Structure 1
Amino acid sequence: MTNPFYEDYKNEFQVPNFKSIKIDHYLPAFEEGIRAREKEIINISNNDKNPSFENTIAELEKSGELLTKVTAVFYNLLSADTNDDLDKLS
């Protein structure tokens, strides 16, 4: 099963195809997003260069792309079009 959260949104406004997202896509994407974000933060903190805005704050802002993508869809649907499965996952 292909997880749409792992793919780029290839449309004019770069929004997800909500019809392709199933309840089973969320948990693996959340878990992978958390792992990826942790790894990115570790890489930032292990940087040997003197801390600067560019190599610390800017890099932190860029981190967590997958987690941001999943949480944005999840919480928007949870508030706008919730169901028992989304409630249970929350």
Structure 2
Amino acid sequence: MKKLLPLILIAFIFMISCNDQGTDVNESNPFFTSYNTPFDVPPFDKITVEHFMPAFERGMAEEKEEVEKILSNPDEPTFENTIVAMDQTGLLLARVSSVFFGLSSANTSAALQQVQMDVSPKLAAHGDEINLDPRLFEKIKVVYSNRDKFNLTDEEEFILENTYLGLVRNGADLDPEKKEKLKEMNQELSVLRVKITQNVLAETNSYKLVISEKE
């Protein structure tokens, strides 16, 4: 037992250290607070690779909760409590995504590429969970079918139509079996899309033009 005590103590200290590091990353994560910068420009000097995955995960969790509140609303679906409410969900996720994919396109690295590979299937599954939810489609379908009753502006009609048709085109009106097949395809495509992009970038970076003769 005496021989085991040092090992147990080391393991305990290691666990505390890991938890503290995770807490520090979350507390210092720029995505979880106001930027406090001119024009709300992301503070790129404070954002590190370690900030992205926790921010993505919290963003997806928050959006799920926000959407669930809309779906559980017992009131008759209207433009305000459905379309406008949906437009106000996922703000943290959108905030993180815009910074991450902007950096990945303009100034990527091996670490960013790994995050992209890890998060892409999660984002695909998250999007499908929301977009293919029959409760959401039913609410939006009700609003769309009764759009003449809401005295919508031209802009609001455009948003409503785009929202409804967007869900239809993304499979919201499919039967359950086809939805599951679509989810599998979206998972596969999410990974393949990243692989193709990264392979093209690697080939581009490895290209060399060797000039051996003087003109």
| Bin for the TM-score computed over the shorter chain | over 0.9
Q: Distance in 1 between matches of 2:42 and 2:64?
A: 24
Q: Matched residues, percent identical?
A: 39
Over aligned residues, Cα RMSD in angstroms?
Answer: 0.8
2:78 counterpart of 1:55: no
Which range is displaced more, 10-19 or 67-76? 10-19
Which residue of 2 is the match for residue 34 of structure 1? 60
- Which structure has more relative contact order (CA 8 Å, sep 6+)? It is 1
CA distance in 2, matches of 1:5, 1:73: 10
Q: Distance in 1 between matches of 2:70 and 2:37?
A: 31
Unaligned segments of structure 2, at least 5 residues: 1-23, 117-215
Q: What TM-score does the superposition give when structure 1 sets the normalisation length?
A: 0.96
Offset at residue 48 of structure 1 (A): 1.3
- Equivalent-residue separation in structure 2 for 1:57 and 1:65 (angstroms): 15
SS in structure 2 at match of 1:9: coil
Correspondence 1:89 to 2:119: no
Alignment of 1:14-25 (within 5 A): 14-25=40-51
Cα distance per residue 1:31-72 (max 9 Å; x no partner)? 000000000000000011111010001010010011000000
Structure with higher helix content: 2
Looking at structure 2, the residues matched to 39 and 88 of structure 1 have their Cα atoms a distance apart, in angstroms, of 27
Length-normalised TM-score, structure 2 = 0.41
Q: Per-residue deviation at 1:11?
A: 2.2
State the distance in 2 between where 1:62 and 1:5 align.
17
Alignment partners' CA distance in 2, 1:11 and 1:60: 27
State how many pairs are aligned: 90
Deviation at 1:21, TM superposition (A): 0.4
Comparing 7-16 and 77-86, the one that deviates more? 7-16
Q: Distance in 1 between matches of 2:79 and 2:36?
A: 31
Do the aligned residues in 1 keep the contact of 2:37 with 2:43 (CA within 8 Å)?
A: no
What is the DSSP-based 3-state SS (H/G/I as helix, E as strand, rest coil) of the residue aligned with 2:38?
Answer: coil
Name structure 1 gaps, 5 residues minimum.
none
